[in-house]
Amino acid sequence: MVSTLSGVTEAAARFTHNGFDIAYIDLAPVPEGSRGEPVLLIHGFASSFMVNWVGPGWTQTLTQAGYRVIAFDNRGHGGSSKGYDPAAYSVRFMADDAAALLDHLGIGQAHVMGYSMGARIAAFMALRHPEKVATLILGGLGIGMVDGVGDWDPIAAALLADDPATITHPRGKMFRAFADQTKSDRRALAACIGTSRELLSEAEAARIAQPALVAVGTRDDIAGSPEELAGLMPRGESFAIEGRDHMLAVGDRSFKTRALEFLAEHPL
């Protein structure tokens, strides 16, 4: 377990699951004598644990609050190995990767937090491995997890375009720029985007029995209503991240504050 945040990239460890080498970090809580309840962080599409969680300050926020923080790069992303078969990117397979990481670390149960695609993975993890998920924080994805988040085929085309200047689709432009900024394997992302968007049914949402916080930016035009998704879950509640869009909500200070309150309200 890494005791500080310095050099987290170099400190990333790896384990293998279902043919993919998964890069991860395991950060110790900062205050001496803290309980160190584990929090598993699952990043969004075209991102990585560095971009989604370290850069915006989540790892620091959580470790300083006394939590043990585990974060990993989803298959096809960041420092994890890449594949180009869309079938390999089922959200169910990625949920199984997350559960396998907890097994690898000998953690029986954890708080689980995901953003955007990571929220979808976290929800499916709660369904497939309910004994491992103590609580859920679902950021950047509301009822769109059930109803869909629009046509993303143009995003796959944008990722594969030879010349980004030819891209006209607004969301395609946004994600191509993000993928280039994060130096992602765009071919792997194009394979991922088609099969990682499996919808959660209303009946499945109703089976998520863990306490769940659904947090979405008020200017997010991708996620859909957090209130509607939370309303489908027996112990769901929603939080509006004021004035934030899909890209900026993840690092919002009010989101961090509410997440820490939520975790304190539901200790292991």
At 101, the pLDDT band (50, 70, 90 cuts) reads: very high
Determine the distance from the C-alpha atom of residue 101 to the mean position of all C-alpha atoms in its chain, rounded to a whole number: 14
pLDDT at 86 over 50: yes
For range 105-126, the mean pLDDT: 98
- Dump the DSSP string for 162-228: S-GGG---HHHHHHHHHHHHTT--HHHHHHHHHHTTPPPPHHHHHT--S-EEEEEETT-SSS--HHH
Tell me, what's the pLDDT at 18?
A: 95
Tell me, what's the pLDDT at 48?
A: 96
For range 185-201, the mean pLDDT: 93
Tell me, what's the pLDDT at 2?
A: 55
pLDDT at 6 over 80: no
Tell me, what's the pLDDT at 5?
A: 45
Q: What is the number of domains present in the chain? A: 1
The H-or-E segment that residue 40 falls in is strand 38-42
Tell me, what's the pLDDT at 1?
A: 61
Tell me, what's the pLDDT at 194?
A: 82
188 lies in a domain?
no
Averaged pLDDT score across all residues of the chain: 93
- Within 10 angstroms of residue 184's Cβ, the number of other Cβ atoms is 23
Tell me, what's the pLDDT at 259?
A: 98
What residues contact 127, with CB distance under 8 A and at least 6 apart? 95, 204, 207, 208
The H-or-E segment that residue 42 falls in is strand 38-42
pLDDT at 118 over 70: yes
228 lies in a domain?
yes
114 lies in a domain?
yes
Which residues form the domain of 145?
8-149+199-265
170 lies in a domain?
no
Q: What's the per-residue H, E or C state across 137-165?
A: EEECCCCHHHHCCCCCHHHHHHHHCCCHH
Tell me, what's the pLDDT at 4?
A: 45
pLDDT at 158 over 60: yes
The H-or-E segment that residue 247 falls in is none
pLDDT at 35 over 50: yes
Tell me, what's the pLDDT at 150?
A: 75
Tell me, what's the pLDDT at 234?
A: 98
For range 170-190, the mean pLDDT: 91
What CATH number is associated with residue 142?
3.40.50.1820
What share of the chain in percent tops pLDDT 70? 96
3-37 residues labelled b (16+ CB within 10 A) or e (exposed)? eebeebeeebeebebeebebbbbbbebbeeeeeeb
103 lies in a domain?
yes
176 lies in a domain?
no
The first and second tokens of residue 182, run together, are: 């994060």
Q: Tell me the per-residue pLDDT of 40-73, one tens digit each, with 9 for 90 and over.
A: 999 999 999 999 999 999 999 999 999 999 999 9
The first and second tokens of residue 218, run together, are: 């008020």
Q: Tell me the per-residue pLDDT of 229-249, one tens digit each, with 9 for 90 and over.
A: 999 999 999 999 999 999 999
What are the angstrom distances between the C-alpha of 119 and each of 28, 36, 100, 142, 168? Answer: 23, 23, 17, 9, 28
SS3 7: coil
pLDDT at 9 over 60: no
- Per the CB < 8 A criterion, the answer to whether 21 and 80 are in contact is yes
123 lies in a domain?
yes
Comparing 60-74, 95-109, 114-128, 142-156, the range with the smallest average pLDDT is 142-156
Tell me, what's the pLDDT at 142?
A: 98
Signed CA dihedral, 32, 250, 51, 136: sign only:
positive
155 lies in a domain?
no
What are the angstrom distances between the C-alpha of 263 and each of 96, 211, 212, 259? Answer: 23, 10, 10, 6
